[in-house]
Amino acid sequence: MTILVTGATGLVGREVVGQLLKAGHDVRALTRRPVAAGLPEGVTVVEGDLERPESLRAALRGVERMYLFPVPHAVSDVVAMAKRAGVRRVVVLSGAEADNDMFGSGYRIVERAVEESGLEWTHLRPGEFAGNWLDWAQRVRTERVVRRPYGGAVTQPTHEADVAAVAATVLAEDGHAGMTYTFAGPEALTVAEQVKAIGVAIGQEIRFEEQDPTQARDGWIQDGYPAEVVDVLFGMWAESARGPAPVDEERAAVVQRLTGRPGRTFARWAADHAADFEQPIP
Ligand SMILES: NC(=O)c1ccc[n+]([C@@H]2O[C@H](COP(=O)([O-])OP(=O)(O)OC[C@H]3O[C@@H](n4cnc5c(N)ncnc54)[C@H](OP(=O)(O)O)[C@@H]3O)[C@@H](O)[C@H]2O)c1
C-alpha cells in the first residue's frame, strides 16, 4: 500500500514521512521542488503542485492513502483526480480555527471538498504550532530578544512531531473514517514562559520585551498582516492574558489516545529546535 504525503517538505509533512517510513510503509512524497526536498532515503520523491491538479498524475498513480496539505485553490479537482487514481483514504491537515470565519475558511474549503468527494476522510485540527516560534529564530540568534504584545497570553503549543504522529496513526489504522480530531499540546504556557523555555534550551537568557499593543498593531500591519486579522488575533491574546487559562485537557488527551503517549512538552520542542535559535551573537 502506497501512502502519498503532500506538504512533505513542511515542518509536519517531513515528520509524517519519517514516521511512516519508520513504521515500514511505502511512502511517496510530493514537492514542487524535488531538488531542494532533502527527504530521507527510502522515500520516493515526486514533483507536483496542488494548485495544478494535472501536475499530480504521476504522484497519484497507485496511491491508496493520502495526507493532504491544505491548499484550497483547485482542491475539488485534486480530490477528484485522487479518487480516479484509486485513492481511498484522505487525511486532511486542517486547523483548530477551521470554524473561525476570520482564519478558517481555507481549512473548511479543503475539508468540504474531501467530504463531498465520497472518499474516506479524517480531518486533523491541531492548535497553534510550537513551530511558529521559528519565525522569531533569527531575532533570537542575533539579538537574544523577543518583542511582542501580550506576554501573558496563553497558548497550548503543539509539537509538529505530535501532529505527524496523529496523522501517521490515522493513515495507517482503520476506525477513523468521518472523524474530526481537534487537539493540542499537553500544557498551557504564556508567551513569556515560552520565550524562557527557548532560552533554557539554548543555555542563554532571551529577553522578553512587552510591546504596547497599539504600536505593535501598526508594525504588524506594516509587515503585511490585514488589519482585521491583527485585531481578531490581538483580541484573542488580550482575552487570554486576562486570567489563568487552564489546559484544555480534552484536546491534550486526543494526542494521548491516538498515539499512545502524551504530547511532547514545549521544553521538548525547544530542545529539539535549539540549533535554530542558538547561533552565538558575533
Ligand atoms: N502554524 C500553525 O499554528 C498551524 C496550526 C494549525 C494548522 N496549521 C496548518 O499547517 C500548515 C503548515 O504545515 P507545515 O508547518 O507542515 O508546513 P510548512 O512548513 O509551512 O511547509 C509548507 C509545505 O506545503 C507545501 N506546499 C505549499 N504549497 C504547495 C502547493 N501549491 N503544492 C504542493 N505543495 C505545496 C510545501 O512544499 P514544497 O515547497 O516542497 O512544494 C511545504 O512542504 C499551515 O499552512 C496551516 O494550514 C498551522
Smallest CA separation from ligand 1 atom 26, residue: 7
242-254 average pLDDT score: 89
- Could you tell me if residue 280 is inside a domain? no
Is residue 106 domain-resident? yes
Domain contains 144: no
**Share of residues in the chain with pLDDT > 90 (%):** 93
Domain membership flag for residue 270: no
Q: How many whole angstroms from 172 Cα to the centroid of ligand 1?
A: 21
pLDDT digits (tens, 9 = 90+) for 128-141: 999 999 999 999 99
Q: Is residue 79 situated within a structural domain?
A: yes
Q: State how many domains the chain has.
A: 1
Report how far Cα 130 is from the mean position of its chain's Cα atoms: 9
Instruction: Kindly write down the DSSP assignment for every residue of 86-150, as one continuous string.
Output: T--EEEEE--TTTT-TTT-HHHHHHHHHHHHTTSEEEEEEE--BGGGGGGGHHHHHHHSEEEES-
Q: Which domain holds residue 35?
A: 2-126
Q: Residue 277 falls within a domain, yes or no? A: no
Q: Taking residues 259-271, report their average pLDDT.
A: 98
Residue 98 contacts by C-beta under 8 Å, 6 or more apart in sequence?
104, 107, 108, 111, 123, 125
Q: For the segment 23-75, what is each residue's pLDDT rounded down to a tens digit? A: 999 999 999 999 999 999 999 999 999 999 999 999 999 999 999 999 999 99
Whole-angstrom Cα distance, residue 126 to residue 251? 9
Angle 164-125-270 (CA atoms, 0-180°, nearest 5)?
Answer: 50
- Pocket around ligand 1: residues whose beta carbon is below 6 Å from it? 6-13, 30-33, 49-51, 69-71, 93, 95, 126, 128-129, 131-132
CATH number of the domain that residue 98 is part of: 3.40.50.720
8 within 8 A of 30, measured Cβ to Cβ? yes
In a domain, 274, yes or no: no
